[in-house]
A and B are shown apart, each in its own frame.
Chain A
Amino acid sequence: MSADNLKAMFFVECEELLESLGEGLQTMEDGEADSETLHAIFRAVHSIKGTAGAFGFDTLVTFTHHYETVLDLIRSDQLEADGDILRLLLRSSDILADLVELARSEDSGRPEAMDSVLESLIEISKHHGDDPGEDEAQSADVDLTFEPVAFSPLSLDDGPPAGALRYRIRFEPGTSFFRNGHDLGQILAELEKAGPVTVTADSATLPLLSDFDPGECHLAWDIEIETEATEAELLDAFMFLEEFCKVSELGPVAGGLPDLGGGLPDLDPLPEAAPAAELPAEPAAPEPEAPSPPRKTDPGRAAPEPAAAEPQKRADPAGATGGATPKQPMLRVDPERVDRLINTVGELIINQAVISQRIVEAGFDSNSDLMGDLDDFQHLAREIQEGVMAIRAQPVKPLFQRMQRIVRETVDALGKDVTLVTEGENTEVDKTLVERLADPLTHMIRNAVDHGIERREIRAQAGKPEKGTIRLAAAHRSGHVQIEISDDGAGVNRPRVFEKAVEKGLIPADAKLSDGEIDNLLFMPGFSTAAEVTNLSGRGVGMDVVKTAISALGGRVAISSMPGKGTTFTISMPLTLAVMDGMVVHICGETMVVPLASIVETIRPRPDDIKPIGRDGRLLFIRGTYVPIASLSRMLGLLRQGGDSDGGVFVLVRSESDDLVALAVDDISDQRQVVIKSLEGNYGAIPGISAATILGDGRVALIIDTEAILSQVRRAGAEAAQHKEMFHEQASALG
């Protein structure tokens, strides 16, 4: 794996960590944080710091360090996370996200607000906790990183080289020496690379057998070495145990070894006491060896042999624990492969439908074994399909968390007070949809804060709480995912919107519009209502862009508003772009599919419920209201193929703008899930048709684009009603 891949992984990991950080902070904000929440928050920041260092993202490291210090104070109850602190933590998480983003784009810049936030963090750690900046100071002073030191092994045959010094090292590692996995043999082997070594064990503190704990080390050692290495180099052999050594220089090596104070005999490496003490501590016990010749490893410890004896057992845990099993998000698959799979599974479903139909046609009894098997097959195919879909499904949670941030930023800039409440964060939606919803949602949330929620004083005057609330909710609704953005603000200022639309020439001044129609003007291209252009939502991007973006995803957005109470935008999106539930209908001998999601009901009316209007328009009278009838056969140009037009069934469909229209068809057969096959890629766009599918008998059926049909109907209506033409043209352009 290349360094770039590792880096890419790091950023994926950062995303996850930022997500759990955001989640944790949210829990804190809600006042529901427990100690595990605090630990998780700390861990997220800590992990980013740890890994960022490895890639040299210094700003990231510095920032996370101070962030972490404050989090640690909270975690250890030295600091209370009250409102101000919590706000700082939230701001810090935003900046952290920015820093990660900058690091990803290899931008060496600093987020704008970083310095002030960093200052606050440092300030807090200074006023709380024992000693601020202690960690850093220490890490600078005490060099704990292990730098490999190149020993130049000396040829012992030649004896100590000229200029060599004699050292004595008193080594008292303490009782945990063996328990902590240290090995004197290794230390000595390391030392011997530098020169000949003499070892004497000091068993003076060895307890009586009755008090003897075989796991503990009660020995000390006096080690003498002749070497050209420096003291620091010698200490390096005692890796991690340097503090337990006392090194004294005994002077230059001259000829023979001088008899030193201790009166140690030259080549007496192992005093009698040592082996006795080491016996019980068997494998970790040092096996001090003769001073020379040096041996690289201590066979008792290095343990390649025992490992070899059980290769099977050793291989197992690697497999069982998953080896380098990544966390789920690391299963990175080219989306195209998943799409191909979804497509193939779609074919499988179709194929299964074909087989079922053939079997039924062949006259098998519905109780026969074959039909039972077929049911199983159908069930399995469906399960595979759901499983494949699930690969692409993602909760909307990260998206919603991003919105928390948008609210914070917008609120900061506008001096308003707003809480964002989220619901249904675990609602799963196709990944592409989640990603592509980010921009429209951001814009809508900004709008809600900017235009929806009133200023504090105005809210207070209206008797509302000063703090506004924006609710962001997701839920699954009959094969769709529905996202609602509602605010408790002033609602759409309809007179103002109307005035503005007239001003901009969008509608004639004498236009008669319903409240809903006025609200929908907000979606018209180029419409902007802000009394003053703020630097937030007044960026020339209107709700029309939002609407276009959502339509491009096969979704719809609707608005409803109550003056003084607030505004709600409802986005309705398909769960996936690949399959949908449809109703199979017949028109002039053609089989077609109407998306189930837009169907309200199917009706077989009495003849006198159908009223003619205008030249060739008709209306359907249903429960006291008139609904325009769309003659599909005529609109889709099927009439010339012969056959009677508009048999007796009407499919009542509802548009995103809540308009109803009755689609006239000859017959309806059944409801089923269909795999959507794009026509545009394979054939070309057909007005009134959104896509195609393949039916059980292998025939192609067209899927009706109900929105397009509706706007055609509306346009026809507009032509009939000349004075409203302009408005309807534009309104239908939005459909």
Chain B
Amino acid sequence: MTIAPHILAIDDSFTIREMVSQTLRDAGFEVTTANDGQDGVEAFAGGRYDAVITDINMPRMDGFGVIETIRSGQGSPARVPILVLTTESGPKLKDRARKAGATGWIVKPFDDEALVSVLNRVTGRG
């Protein structure tokens, strides 16, 4: 029996959190959600995650803050794959996301299959 990869999904929109977690749970992931960046990094510090999905525009701490905080940590958790979930697009975002340390990005509105596929890839499920 394999253990489902554990995903941390951070978004201040309840609807998005629900969509992401529902889609991923249906695809066999374990999902924990957080309501904003601050909650997100706290949840991250308290658990083990195989990947993080984070929104950018959030109260208290934005997505870039989340990435920075996680990446400034020690050991392997600091190099967890982090995907930015955003409505923004364009090379600017890519640059910004990469500089901040994001592994990749998913542009809202996202397609369920695409989301699962990206997560499968970054968590090494093929």
Contact = CB atoms under 8 A, between A and B. Distances in A.
Interface of A: 1, 6, 9-10, 12-13, 39-40, 42-43, 46-47, 49-51, 53-56, 134-135, 138-139, 142, 144-148, 176, 178-183, 185-186, 189-190, 239-240, 282-284, 296-298, 301-304, 306-308, 310-311, 313-314, 316-318, 320-321, 323-327, 330
Contact of A182 (B92, B94, B103, B110): B103
Contacts of A178: 79
Contacts of A148: 113-114, 117
Contacts of B22: 1, 6
Contact of A304 (B3, B39, B111, B126): B3
Contact of A51 (B13, B106, B125): B13
Nearest to A45: B57
A193 B22 CA distance: 29
A43 B114 contact: no
Contacts of B123: 302-303
Contacts of A147: 111, 114
B122 interface: yes
A180 B14 contact: no
B12 to A, nearest CB: 7
Interface string B20-38: 0110000000111111000
Contact of B118 (A50, A146, A297, A321): A146
Interface in B1-50: 2-3, 5-6, 12-19, 21-22, 30-35, 39, 42-43, 46-48, 50
Given A50-B108, A321-B43, A1 B18 contact: yes
Given A13-B14, A302-B50, A304-B2, A176 B98 contact: yes
A234 B58 CA distance: 35
B47 A317 contact: yes
Contacts of B31: 324
Nearest to A326: B14
A43 B59 contact: yes
Contact of A144 (B5, B33, B105): B105
Contacts of B39: 321
Given A43-B12, A181-B122, A284-B76, A317 B32 contact: yes
A321 B13 contact: no
A69 to B, nearest CB: 11
A316 B47 contact: yes
- Among A56, A181, A307, the one with the most B-chain Cβ atoms within 10 Å of its Cβ is A181
What 3 pairs between A and B have smallest CB-CB spacing?
A302-B124, A317-B47, A138-B90
Contact of A145 (B21, B71, B90, B110): B110
B22 to A, nearest CB: 6
A51 B42 CA distance: 25
Which of B55, B108, B113 gathers the greatest number of chain A CB atoms within 10 Å?
A: B108
A298 B50 CA distance: 13
Contact of A179 (B15, B50, B71, B89): B71
Contacts of A135: 88-90
Interface string B51-85: 00001011100000000000100011011111000
A284 B91 contact: no
B109 A181 contact: no
A131 to B, nearest CB: 10
Contact of A240 (B18, B104, B109, B125): B104
A650 B46 CA distance: 68
A314 B57 contact: no
Contact of B121 (A13, A145, A239, A303): A239
User: Which of A50, A55, A283: most chain B Cβ within 10 A?
Assistant: A50
A297 B43 contact: no
A321 B34 contact: yes
A6 B18 CA distance: 8
Contacts of A313: 46-48
Contact of B32 (A146, A180, A321, A327): A321
Nearest to B123: A302
Contacts of B106: 145-146
Given A46-B57, A138-B90, A307 B103 contact: no
Contacts, number: 199
B15 A240 contact: no
B119 to A, nearest CB: 11
B19 A54 contact: yes
A210 B16 CA distance: 46
B16 A304 contact: no
A303 to B, nearest CB: 6
6 contacts: A13-B14, A46-B57, A50-B13, A51-B13, A144-B93, A314-B30
A325 B35 CA distance: 8
A139 B16 contact: no
Which label, helix, strand, loop or mixed, suits the secondary structure of the B interface?
mixed
A310 B18 CA distance: 26
Given A146-B104, A181-B103, 7 more contacts: A43-B12, A135-B90, A138-B89, A138-B92, A181-B122, A327-B35, A330-B14
Contacts of B101: 176, 179-181
Given A47-B57, A49-B87, A326-B14, A180 B46 contact: no
B74 to A, nearest CB: 11
B89 A323 contact: no
A306 B122 CA distance: 17
A296 B75 CA distance: 24
A578 B70 CA distance: 51
A271 to B, nearest CB: 23
Nearest to A14: B15
A694 B42 CA distance: 51
A180 B19 contact: no
A13 B13 contact: yes
B16 to A, nearest CB: 6
Nearest to A134: B90
Given A145-B114, A297-B125, A316 B46 contact: yes
B15 A142 contact: no
A47 B36 CA distance: 13
Contacts of B81: 181-183
Given A54-B109, A240-B104, A316-B47, A283 B18 contact: no
A164 to B, nearest CB: 22
Q: Which of B14, B42, B121, B125: most chain A CB closer than 10 A?
A: B14
Contact of A50 (B5, B6, B87): B87
A145 B83 CA distance: 13
A178 B76 CA distance: 10
Contacts of B47: 313-314, 316-318
A298 B124 contact: yes
B118 A239 contact: yes
A183 B107 CA distance: 22
Contacts of B71: 179-180
Nearest to B90: A138
Contacts of A283: 75-76, 79
B90 A297 contact: no
B41 to A, nearest CB: 11
A319 B58 CA distance: 22
A283 B99 CA distance: 21
Nearest to B88: A135
A558 B22 CA distance: 52
Contacts of A43: 12, 57-59
A178 to B, nearest CB: 6
Nearest to A284: B79
A183 B14 contact: no
Contacts of A183: 81, 124
Contacts of A145: 106-107, 110-111, 114
Contact of B122 (A42, A179, A186, A311): A186
